[in-house]
């Protein structure tokens, strides 16, 4: 009989008893960003599962939910071509026989940025991710850095509830002009699409400025000014924070920095971020 006394060994043991299953949770309208996660899963697991579910309980804005693109046939073809083994595409009724009562509280992680502007969002995310974990039983789950705050919330979820799953965070795939790939990009008019790369441009400008020891607040204000000049763009937030805790940083900070941004391009909400080390 074996005896295990540490949680890390217990997790390792549990995972080693199962065949490796990779899960890539998505809301569909797939693009190369999603496929990069599937490819990563395929290279590391016996079985790769992609879930496609536009989770109603993580949307605080009914218009955003109603207009979320649905391209299921195309998604299936893309997944088939990428060699995905299994697609889990449940209906909302299937996932929620009744509205969940459970409430998560992720503390500071859900009171800033996405959490501040999308009340209830991370509670909905945590519930759906937990359900997907229980239903598909992955050994590894793949998430994109594109949704940085989501990765931090899911990390805490896995840690706090002891899910026997390792998380892999994959880099953000971008269009040639720097725009982060997103399912919502298809909703941009040509005029909005042409200005959308401003988000990434400003993120990289701030990063370069910080690396060159310019004052963080000045860099932030300058970027906000540039974006707010655009009449069709409404900046929601631009935050420069510790990449793990999302707490604000000052000029003498050393460590991983996250610069996170969210803005509406007319009624299309886009987010982006970059993470880098500040010596």
Catalytic residues: 34
Nearer to ligand AMP, 33 or 164 (CB): 33
Contact between 170 and ligand AMP by CB under 6 A: the answer reads yes
Contact 273, 203 (CB under 8 A): yes
Contact between 273 and ligand AMP by CB under 6 A: the answer reads no
Contact between 58 and ligand AMP by CB under 6 A: the answer reads no
Interface residue with ligand AMP among 21, 23, 37, 246 (CB under 6 A) is 37
Contact between 260 and ligand AMP by CB under 6 A: the answer reads no
Contact between 147 and ligand AMP by CB under 6 A: the answer reads yes
Interface residue with ligand AMP among 48, 51, 130, 182 (CB under 6 A) is 182
Query: At its nearest, how many Å lie between ligand AMP and the CB of residue 70?
Result: 12
Contact between 259 and ligand AMP by CB under 6 A: the answer reads no
Measure Cα distances from 224 to 87, 140, 197 in Å.
41, 38, 15
Query: At its nearest, how many Å lie between ligand AMP and the CB of residue 17?
Result: 27
Contact between 183 and ligand AMP by CB under 6 A: the answer reads yes
Nearer to ligand AMP, 123 or 210 (CB): 123
Query: At its nearest, how many Å lie between ligand AMP and the CB of residue 173?
Result: 4
Residue among 197, 56, 224 at smallest CA distance from 125: 56
Contact between 124 and ligand AMP by CB under 6 A: the answer reads no
Contact between 33 and ligand AMP by CB under 6 A: the answer reads yes
Query: At its nearest, how many Å lie between ligand AMP and the CB of residue 223?
Result: 21
Contact between 149 and ligand AMP by CB under 6 A: the answer reads no
Secondary structure of the chain in the HEC alphabet? Answer: CCCCCCHHHHHHHHHHCCCCEEEEEECCCCCHHHHHHHHHHHHHCCEEEEEECCCHHHCCCHHHHHCCCCCHHHHHHHHHHHCCCEEECCCHHHHCCCCCCCCCCCHHHHCCHHHHHCCCHHHHHHHHHHHHHHHHCCCEEEEEHHHHHHHHHHHHHHHHHCCCCEEEEECCCECCCCCECCHHHHHCCHHHHHHCCHHHHHHHHHHHHHHCCCCHHHHHHHHHHHHHCCCCEEEEEEEEEECCCCCECCCCCCEEEEEEEEEEECCEEEEEEEEEEEC
For ligand AMP, the binding residues in 8-27 under the rule CB under 6 A are 26-27
Interface residue with ligand AMP among 172, 185, 202, 273 (CB under 6 A) is 172
Positions touching ligand AMP (CB under 6 A) are: 26-27, 33-34, 36-37, 143-144, 146-147, 170, 172-173, 180-183
């Amino acid at each position: 009989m074996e005896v295990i006394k540490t949680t890390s060994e217990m997790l390792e043991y549990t995972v080693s008893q199962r065949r490796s299953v990779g899960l890539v949770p998505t809301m569909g309208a797939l693009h190369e960003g999603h496929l990069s996660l599937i490819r990563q899963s395929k290279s590391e697991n016996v079985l790769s599962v992609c879930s496609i579910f536009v989770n109603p309980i993580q949307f605080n804005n009914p218009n955003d939910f109603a207009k979320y693109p649905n391209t299921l046939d195309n998604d299936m073809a893309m997944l088939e071509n990428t060699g995905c083994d299994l697609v889990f595409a449940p209906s909302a009724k299937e996932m929620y026989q009744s509205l969940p009562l459970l409430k998560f509280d992720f503390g500071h992680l859900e009171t800033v940025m996405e959490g501040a502007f999308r009340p209830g969002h991370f509670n909905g995310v945590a519930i759906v991710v937990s359900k997907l974990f229980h239903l598909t039983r992955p050994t590894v789950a793949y998430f994109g850095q594109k949704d940085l705050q989501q990765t931090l919330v899911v990390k805490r979820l896995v840690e706090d509830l002891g899910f026997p799953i390792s998380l892999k965070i994959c880099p953000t795939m971008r269009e040639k002009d720097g725009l982060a790939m997103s399912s919502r990009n298809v909703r941009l008019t040509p005029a909005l699409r042409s200005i959308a790369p401003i988000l990434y441009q400003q993120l990289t400008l701030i990063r370069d400025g910080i690396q060159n020891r310019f004052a963080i607040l000045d860099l932030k204000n300058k970027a906000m000014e540039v974006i707010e000049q655009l009449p069709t763009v409404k900046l929601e937030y631009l935050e420069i924070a510790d990449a793990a805790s999302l707490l604000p940083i000052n000029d003498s900070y050393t460590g991983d920095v996250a610069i996170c941004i969210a803005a509406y391009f007319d009624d299309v909400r886009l987010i982006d971020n970059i993470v880098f080390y500040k010596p």
